[in-house]
Amino acid sequence: MDPGFKGDGCQVAVADRSPLTLGVEEEFLLLDTCGSNLPVADEVLARLSGQALEQSRHEFRESMIEMVTPVCGDLAQLREHLASSRAEAAAAGAALGARLVAVGATPLREAAITRPAAERYERIIGHFGPVALDPALCGCHVHVGVPDRELAVQVCNHLRPWLPVVQAIAANSPFHAGVDTGYASWRSIQMERWPSLGPSPYFASAAEYDRTVQQLITAGVMLDVGMVLWYARPSARYPTVEVRVADVLPTVDDAVVVAGLVRALVVTVVDDIRAGLPAPRLRTGLLTAAHWRAARDGLEGHLVNATTGELVPAWELVDDLLRFVGPALTRDGDLRTVIAGLDRLRIEGSGAERQRRVHRRTGDVRDVLAYLAAETTGDGAR
């Protein structure tokens, strides 16, 4: 084990070179056959048992549930857990007339804004008002094991230029109130109303990170450390870096690709930190623009290179990302899986584009949601 290394002026410990662990949290909507949000989360969770129950959680709406994987060592193990948890949650929902749907934003309507009876949720609503009553949103959060908090803060600094590309790959929420918003990820746009969400700020150290978070809590921008909603953060709950920029992905294969890329990014930037390379100092406005463009275009248009400001075809930046993380993917045995997944996305399009394709064919968002329900559990025909 290396005794330590300097990254951006900070001394932090270095772990061994074995593959970093990873895990995924996925949020899902529960929809009726007409496409409206169905507030039956309590009943769905009550029907789960064993590991599925242990890995399930309530979310901010009674029409949502969250399923989380155990800590995984490789993408094959992750895929198995994602597939089984989706299948069991979908079966529990079906018994109650609810479809489990992997979609980033409420596509039609949430007639009754109901939430679990929890004091924390009441505090959030009381403090943030109508922002907390927006229609339900569903994300995919990828955790990568980085137990040293000093290192985790530096990793978040280094991830910043690449997260708009991950966001574009994961875009899966083009519809809102029954119409196409023109955005590939409407979830990203809705979530910008939260004051503690957005591109991860640059921090010189874990001490500066903690000091800033405490100042934001004092200012009322956050209620507690659990409301750090930046696109990458040292997890408040686990010894991980948590990347929170993605919509929930329509299929297990899509989720595996995003998780593989995120782990490879973390592995790569840890190597850069070990080598003494500083994190890019990005202009805030340019980074914000890069995320907005990713939310609008997804993979089907152009993205902003957050380092240079250049507007380029989305797949050009995806290819840049793949070259950047290629050695890490190879080292962990993930290269073939990730390349195959990206090749499929080149042909089929992002989740947002696949939804739009169904809509262009049928003109009915309810058909889109039926398609997504099948994709969520792997029952869809491609």
For the ranges 10-14, 146-150, 242-246, 247-251, which has the lowest average pLDDT?
10-14
Compute the average pLDDT of residues 204-230: 95
Task: Reduce the DSSP state of residue 314 to 3 states and report it.
Answer: helix
Residue 14 has pLDDT above 70, yes or no: no
Distances (CA, A) of 165 to 2, 41, 96, 295, 298: 32, 32, 38, 10, 8
Residue 8 has pLDDT above 90, yes or no: no
Nearest-angstrom CA–CA distance, 231 and 236: 14
Amino acid, res. 105 = A
Q: What is the pLDDT of residue 134?
A: 85
Q: What is the pLDDT of residue 114?
A: 66
Compute the average pLDDT of residues 247-273: 98
Band (pLDDT 50/70/90 cuts) for residue 15 is very low
**Residue among 91, 102, 99 at smallest CA distance from 49:** 91
Band (pLDDT 50/70/90 cuts) for residue 307 is very high
Compute the average pLDDT of residues 104-124: 80
Compute the average pLDDT of residues 152-172: 98
Q: What percent of the chain has pLDDT over 90?
A: 82
Compute the average pLDDT of residues 281-289: 95
Band (pLDDT 50/70/90 cuts) for residue 61 is confident
Nearest-angstrom CA–CA distance, 19 and 13: 17
Phi, psi of 299 (to 5 degrees): -90, -5
Q: Which tops the pLDDT comparison, 6 or 282?
A: 282
Nearest-angstrom CA–CA distance, 61 and 42: 10
Q: Strand 64-68 relative to strand 179-180: parallel, antiparallel, unpaired?
A: unpaired
Nearest-angstrom CA–CA distance, 79 and 76: 5
Task: Reduce the DSSP state of residue 305 to 3 states and report it.
Answer: coil
Q: What percent of the chain has pLDDT over 70?
A: 93
The structure tokens listed for 143 are 């955790």
pLDDT averaged over the chain?
Answer: 92
Nearest-angstrom CA–CA distance, 17 and 73: 13
Rg (CA), the chain: 20
Q: Which of 60-64, 82-86, 225-229 has the highest mean pLDDT?
A: 82-86
Identify the CATH assignment for 5-11+20-377 out of 3.30.160.270, 3.40.50.720, 3.30.450.20, 3.30.590.20.
Answer: 3.30.590.20
Residue 109 has pLDDT above 90, yes or no: no
Nearest-angstrom CA–CA distance, 369 and 355: 8
**Residue among 193, 192, 38 at smallest CA distance from 108:** 38
Q: What is the pLDDT of residue 382?
A: 46
